[in-house]
């Protein structure tokens, strides 16, 4: 293990967790990741291993059977997992977001029912906000929930659900028109339990997961649509028990999710650096190892600096949230920086590999297809810049 991406001030428990996860990644994920990714095969054995390690309950409080760890611990674990295979970190990410939302905003009944099962990995979560024509404008959602006695009837189509097929719990954002004139007070999050699988759901009439969306990268993990046709959900499955708070609950989930995506970018970039610096010391041109050429040394120096900068920004954003402080500025910066730097570090490692980087026999080919997803997930670079820019104007507003 090199000196890059180290984190100061960790407890002994945090160091032990990271050492265990790192060992798991090196032994159980990296050796099989490329083969499974090329087959677009769900990593069942890896997921079972993560369940045994308790990773699905990493941040869930101990009173509900989890480990009660911080966002920082979780982000560092995600960084290690993404270093092995980014798709695996996606499997645990949406689960983590839903668990966070239930723990932060759920009723006591919802916490007591869902969190112990989520900590054990018996229930696995997915997060559903986007729609086919939505883009980044969340206020324009069209999926509707209409009150009908003690139930809500849901109709609409959702898009880009990570774990849409394999999950058994989906947090779905719908328009409910119960909060007055503001669109942001007319959205509600529903907790929908379902059976894992594709097609019409046998336990939730009207709910359909059509199938996997074929992607250029981020394979193995299933990304799906979700179709709702007169789906009846009990009113006690409104997150928090009160309609109209869905937008704010989802944004809280996205905020911690941005730290997660930053961590994924850090992990993929670190792996790309490892592959690049290793290959540079093995490949020879013009009578010497290419690592001895000044041009390659410059490239390695730039890559390492980006890996380190992204890691430290991610750590700062996580610690802000753990400290109870508002962290949308830092989370936006971290997500923007880590995803952009990840793309650049992966491309530089790809260039170092030369023609071999284009071959599916080399791991860097997989990373080259995975990195672009991070530029989009949890908000594009442009969205992060909007968030950061608005927050900076709040912080530095001049007196008029």
Which residues have a catalytic role annotated?
378
How far apart (Å, rounded) are the C-alpha atoms in residues 226 and 109? Answer: 26
How far apart (Å, rounded) are the C-alpha atoms in residues 323 and 334? Answer: 17
Question: Which two structure tokens, joined as six digits, stand for 246?
Answer: 């869905």
List Cβ neighbours of 263 (8 Å cut-off, separation of 6 or more). 75, 76, 78, 79, 82, 89, 314, 318, 338
Q: Tell me which residue has tokens 């400290």.
A: 323
Q: Where are the alpha helices (DSSP H) in the chain?
A: 12-24, 30-39, 44-53, 71-84, 86-105, 108-119, 246-280, 294-322, 328-353, 363-374, 381-395
For residue 380, give the 3-state DSSP assignment. coil
Q: Where are the alpha helices (DSSP H) in 106-201?
A: 108-119
Residue of 171, 179, 178 lying closest to 146 (CA atoms) = 178
């Amino acid at each position: 293990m090199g000196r890059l991406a180290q984190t100061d001030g960790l407890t002994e428990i945090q160091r032990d967790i990271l050492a265990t996860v790192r060992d798991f990644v090196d032994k159980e994920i990296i050796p099989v990741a490329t083969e499974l990714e090329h087959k677009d095969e769900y990593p069942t054995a890896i997921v079972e291993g993560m369940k045994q390690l308790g990773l699905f309950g990493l941040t869930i409080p101990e009173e509900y059977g989890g480990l009660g760890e911080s966002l920082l611990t979780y982000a560092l674990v995600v960084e290690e997992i993404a270093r092995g295979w980014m798709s695996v970190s996606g499997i645990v990410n949406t689960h983590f977001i839903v668990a966070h939302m239930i723990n932060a905003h759920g009723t006591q009944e919802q916490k007591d029912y869902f969190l112990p099962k989520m900590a054990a990995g018996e229930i696995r979560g997915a997060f559903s906000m986007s729609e086919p024509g939505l883009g980044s404008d969340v206020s324009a959602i069209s999926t509707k929930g209409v009150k009908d006695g003690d139930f809500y009837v849901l109709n609409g189509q959702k898009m880009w659900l990570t774990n849409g097929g394999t999950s058994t719990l989906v947090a779905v954002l719908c328009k409910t028109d119960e909060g007055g004139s503001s669109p942001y007070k007319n959205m509600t999050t529903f907790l929908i339990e379902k059976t894992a699988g594709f097609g019409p759901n046998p336990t939730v009439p009207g709910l359909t997961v059509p199938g996997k969306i074929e992607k250029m990268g981020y394979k193995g993990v299933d990304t799906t649509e979700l179709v709702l046709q007169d789906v009846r959900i009990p009113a006690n499955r409104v997150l928090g028990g009160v309609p109209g708070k869905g937008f704010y609950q989802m944004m809280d989930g996205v905020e911690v999710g941005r730290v997660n995506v930053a961590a994924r970018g850090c992990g993929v970039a670190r792996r790309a650096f490892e592959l690049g610096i290793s290959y540079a010391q093995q490949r020879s041109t013009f009578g010497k190892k290419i690592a001895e050429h000044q041009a390659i040394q410059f490239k390695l120096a730039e890559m390492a600096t980006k890996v380190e900068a992204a890691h430290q920004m991610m750590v700062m954003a996580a610690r802000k949230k753990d400290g109870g402080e508002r962290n949308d500025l830092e989370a936006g910066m971290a997500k923007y920086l880590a995803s952009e730097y990840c793309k650049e570090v992966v491309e530089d490692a790809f260039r170092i590999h030369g023609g071999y980087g284009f071959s599916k026999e080399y791991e860097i080919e997989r990373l080259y297809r995975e990195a672009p997803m991070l530029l989009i997930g949890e908000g594009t670079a442009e969205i992060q810049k909007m968030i950061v820019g608005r927050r900076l104007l709040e912080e530095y507003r001049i007196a008029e």
